[in-house]
Amino acid sequence: MWDKPSINRLPGERLHLRHGPITIVLKVWAEPDVVRQAHRLVTRHFPKILPDLADELAELRKPITRATKFQGHVAQRMADAALPFADVYVTPMAGVAGAVAEEVLRIMQAAGPLQKAFVNDGGDIALYLDLGQSLNFGVAGDFSEGPTPAVNGTIALTAELGLAGIATSGAQGRSFSLGIADSVTVLAKTAATADVAATLIANAVNVDSRAVTRKAANKLDPDTDLGDLLVTTKVGALKSDEIDLALAAGVAQAEAYLAKGLIAGAVLMLQGSVRTVGAPVKSIAEKR
């Protein structure tokens, strides 16, 4: 069904992992023997993650309920992350990238004491920071110059914040979106939670407009977990009031999640306009 998993070394003592739809870049800071052991453990266990998920894929594509239970650790982590958001349509698949990133991080932590580490699964990031440690991440949500996003902000995280997850979603991403956001980046206590929240906030960034083209998800991918829900296939130039309305809807959703303690902050971007909720993001460049 998939090519064999590949694990390659990148400059800067990073690893690149690939298996089917999973593409990860990771790095760990620790004593040299701990780093080597972390890499060995990842090499040994990473190939098992995708087959385990495939065994329960049919159930993972169904809307989450309290009765939903799974055998695999990653699958159950996906379900646990989705459940607090179950007042809207959501399946455990909304948290798959974040949950996989968390699992790879968990594997590395078994190697010994880490100073810090990150696992970036296609933009959904699990991280570990020991006391006194910090990491900076770029925010790339500006698509105004073309299909490749420009880095237009930074997120500085410290151990004291207690946040271990960053995720980004939107109509420009690799998965279907019900909304029209260029990107929504979310900070949360776990990567799986951030992944689900980013997906749902991005869905909420929406407006009725002739500039937006939509199509039933199952017409584009018969295996999608979204069924016949309409997903965004193209967003043309929007009027300024349409941008404001769409972002306001997304902000309202993000603020609701912030009030419930599900997220720590969010950055919403649409055609050069930016809105932030909660935890600050530095140096965001707004085009209008």
Q: How far apart are CA 235 and CA 253, in angstroms?
A: 21
Report which DSSP code applies to 19. Answer: E
Considering the domain boundaries, does residue 270 fall inside one? yes
Does the pLDDT of residue 104 top 50, yes or no? yes
CATH number of the domain that 161 lies in?
3.10.520.10
pLDDT of residue 139: 82
Considering the domain boundaries, does residue 159 fall inside one? yes
Instruction: Judge contact between 176 and 226, C-beta under 8 A.
Output: yes
Considering the domain boundaries, does residue 1 fall inside one? no
Instruction: Please indicate whether residue 101 or residue 123 has the higher confidence score (pLDDT).
Output: 101
DSSP 159-199: GGG---EEEEE-TTSSS--SS--SEEEEEESSHHHHHHHHH
Q: How far apart are CA 35 and CA 15, in angstroms?
A: 11
CB atoms under 10 Å from CB of 199, counted, come to 31
Considering the domain boundaries, does residue 286 fall inside one? no
pLDDT of residue 145: 66
Does the pLDDT of residue 33 top 90, yes or no? yes
Considering the domain boundaries, does residue 137 fall inside one? yes
Does the pLDDT of residue 288 top 50, yes or no? no
pLDDT of residue 53: 97
Domain containing 146: what range? 6-278
Does the pLDDT of residue 282 top 70, yes or no? no
Does the pLDDT of residue 287 top 50, yes or no? no
pLDDT of residue 92: 97
Tens-digit pLDDT profile for residues 107-142: 999 999 999 999 999 999 999 999 999 999 888 766
Average predicted confidence (pLDDT) for the chain: 92
Tens-digit pLDDT profile for residues 143-193: 766 677 777 778 889 999 999 999 999 988 778 999 999 999 999 999 999
Confidence of residue 281 (pLDDT cuts 50, 70, 90): low
Domain count, the chain: 1
Q: What is the pTM of this model?
A: 0.94
Tens-digit pLDDT profile for residues 227-258: 999 999 999 999 999 999 999 999 999 999 99
pLDDT of residue 283: 46
**Class of residue 41 by CB neighbours under 10 A (exposed 0-12, middle 13-18, buried 19+):** middle
Considering the domain boundaries, does residue 284 fall inside one? no
